[in-house]
């Protein structure tokens, strides 16, 4: 890990991994609670999410916030806005209209490589798209499946707040590999998308982290004033 001393006790790597496992359990438990609470009170679920994340970022050893900044860390968010919560149907990709590199299909999609914040690329499969009703009208966002071990839904986006109120390279709506999943909608083949839960990737807090970035099709031309912000 970056920042480790030249000589470490042999048990340190095991401790780090156990701490990381604990972080993942806590985040998974948090999103399970969020999905349960949101069924009756989405705003209460959002407050639970916001307060628990702030505590984890301040107190947990695996926080993406640098150690020296954790005690003073305060989470910043726009006020909860119910208009940003919706259920969107995932439309399968129409291969003839998608201008991405054709490759081996996985779950009926197209494989593509998304850029990573530290350089290089990471493979994902585009499994479809969703249409979302925002203040500037209907916009479309691609939905992806991580091609690595275990996979998982991934929905990053960029908007006009990037580089001003939010991280310059965008935010995430879904990142199921890290348990950030708000669950299915009531209708078949739908997902709950709530921009009030949009969050900064770890590299927004510390550039040592490698974070996949939003592709061109997920760059919105409007401001999404909901979710986590940096200022």
- pLDDT score for 124: 87
Could you report the per-residue pLDDT of 33-49, keeping only the tens digit for each? Answer: 999 999 999 999 999 99
pLDDT on residue 13: 82
What is the pLDDT averaged over residues 56-61?
97
Going 223 to 226 to 228 to 231, the CA torsion angle's sign is positive
pLDDT by residue (tens digit) across 203-219? Answer: 999 998 888 889 999 99
Q: Over 60: is that where the pLDDT of 131 sits? A: yes
What does the pLDDT look like over 82-95, one tens digit per residue? 999 999 999 998 75
Asked if the model's pLDDT at residue 24 lies above 80, the reply is yes
Q: 109-126 pLDDT, tens per residue?
A: 455 566 566 666 668 889
Q: Which residues of 179-191 are buried (b: 16+ CB within 10 A; e: fewer)?
A: bbbbeebeeeebb
Provide the residue ranges of all domains of the chain, joining segments of one domain with +: 12-229
Parallel, antiparallel, or unpaired: how do β-strands 190-194 and 76-77 relate? Answer: unpaired
Q: Quick count: other Cβ atoms within 10 Å of Cβ 16?
A: 15
């Amino acid at each position: 890990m970056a920042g480790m001393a030249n000589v470490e006790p042999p048990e340190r790597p095991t401790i780090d991994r156990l701490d990381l496992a604990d972080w993942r359990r806590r985040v998974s438990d948090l999103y399970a609670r969020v999905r349960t609470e949101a069924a009756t009170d989405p705003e209460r679920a959002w407050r639970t999410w916001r307060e628990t994340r702030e505590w984890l970022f301040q107190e947990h050893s695996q926080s993406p916030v640098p150690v020296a900044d954790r005690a003073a860390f305060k989470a910043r968010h726009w006020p909860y806005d119910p208009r940003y919560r919706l259920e969107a149907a995932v439309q399968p990709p129409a291969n003839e209209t998608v201008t991405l590199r054709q490759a081996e299909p996985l779950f009926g999609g197209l494989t593509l490589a998304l850029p990573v914040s530290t350089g290089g690329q990471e493979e994902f499969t585009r499994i479809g798209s969703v249409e979302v009703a925002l203040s500037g009208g209907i916009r479309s966002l691609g939905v992806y499946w991580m091609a690595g071990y275990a996979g998982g839904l991934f929905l990053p986006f960029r908007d006009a707040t990037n580089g001003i109120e939010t991280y310059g390279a965008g935010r995430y709506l879904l990142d199921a590999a890290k348990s950030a999943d708000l669950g299915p909608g009531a209708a078949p083949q739908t997902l709950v998308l709530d921009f009030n839960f949009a969050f900064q990737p770890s590299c927004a807090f510390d550039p040592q982290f490698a974070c996949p970035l939003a592709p061109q099709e997920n760059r919105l031309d409007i401001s999404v004033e909901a979710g986590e912000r940096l200022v």
